Each structure stands twice: as C-alpha cells, then as structure tokens.
Amino acid sequence: MSYLREMILKHGQVFPNNVLKVDSFLNHQIDPIVIEEIEKEFYKYFGDRSITKVLTIESSGIAPALLVAHHLGVPMLFAKKAEPSTLAKEDKYVTSVHSYTKNVTSNVLISKEYLSANDKVLIIDDFLANGQAALGLVDLVEQAGGETVGVGICIEKSFQPGRQYLEAKGVDVFSICRIQSLENGKVTFLNE
C-alpha cells in the first residue's frame, strides 16, 4: 500500500456530500514524504513526454506540481484565482472553474507571457471529482495553442465524472489514488 493511501486511511476525514478532507498532510499542512512519493509516481508515468511546463491551479496543486517540475527541469506555472493589477486585460488567458468543495464558480487566469503554442503541458492537481479545475486548465492550454500531454491527479473520486470528461477530450489521466466510495464515512479504494 502506498504512503498516500496509508495517510488517507489514517488521517483523511469524510464529510457529507462526498467531501474528503486531507488538510493534515496534502492541502493545508503538507507532509513532504507524501509530496515526494507523489512526485516520483508522476515522474515515472509522465517523465518521457518532452514536457516543457507543469501547470496547476492555486493553491493545493502547487506543492506536488513544483516537485514534478523540478524533477523534469521545467518551469511550474499556476493559474491564479485573483487578477493582479500588473496584468493587462489583453495579456492573459481566462477560463471559468467551478469548485465542487467550495460550491463556487470563479475565473482563473494565466499570463500569455508564460504559456505558448510551443508548450507541452502536464497538468497536476490534488483532487479530481467533477473535473472542472482540470478541464479549465486544459482550456487555458488550448487557448494558448499548446498541447496537454496529460493530467496527474493525487486523489481521484472515481465515482464522480471528472475522469470521463477528461478522457472524452482525449486527455490521458493518471491518478495515484482512486477512490471508489466514501459511503458511510469510509474510504474505499478502487482496485485496479
């Protein structure tokens, strides 16, 4: 059993509406051993794809994305949720993303300076549920004319449609932990 699975079983908390809280080791407080394991898994799966950028959305995807980018020797870029005053309207790519956990839709953006048609992009995120964050990032890459070489997910809720939406767009999805169910407050992993 992977260390990430062990941490989910030991410290993950299941909340109503299929919410899994992993704040103590992944997306509030970060366990460096978990992030190191995640980075190794993503590199093993995606490392041979001539990636030029690793892309995530602020903020929970930043830690794993940064380590993967470091291992690949490429920049890590994150989509911002707030528009900086230093970025002109015409100098950015923008897309809307709905957060399942927060139940809010917001615009996220990337400066055109950092994403181009020459980029082969690996998208990394902490969770995949309904796929809206990942689809939004794919949209930003498409706006730039770049290529999404894959989406790496730390924890996938396989009982929600995110993977199907991404695969329908022809995107290769690799998830380190795939959850089959959060019923009755218990985490059950998908056996692959």
Q: How far apart are CA 80 and CA 42, in angstroms?
A: 23
Taking a C-beta distance cutoff of 8 angstroms, is the pair 24, 45 a contact?
no
Contacts of 107 (CB under 8 A, 6+ apart): 81, 83, 94, 95, 96, 97
Q: Do the annotations mark residue 131 as ligand-binding?
A: yes
Q: Could you count the other beta carbons within 10 Å of the beta carbon of residue 124?
A: 30
Q: How far apart are CA 145 and CA 109, in angstroms?
A: 15
Q: Do the annotations mark residue 88 as ligand-binding?
A: no
Q: Do the annotations mark residue 132 as ligand-binding?
A: yes
Q: How far apart are CA 171 and CA 16, in angstroms?
A: 30
Q: Do the annotations mark residue 191 as ligand-binding?
A: no
Tallying the residues shown for the chain, one arrives at 192
Q: Do the annotations mark residue 186 as ligand-binding?
A: no
Binding site for 5-phospho-alpha-D-ribose 1-diphosphate, by residue number, is 129-133
Binding site listing for xanthine? 20, 27, 157
Cite the annotated binding site by residue number: 20, 27, 129-133, 157
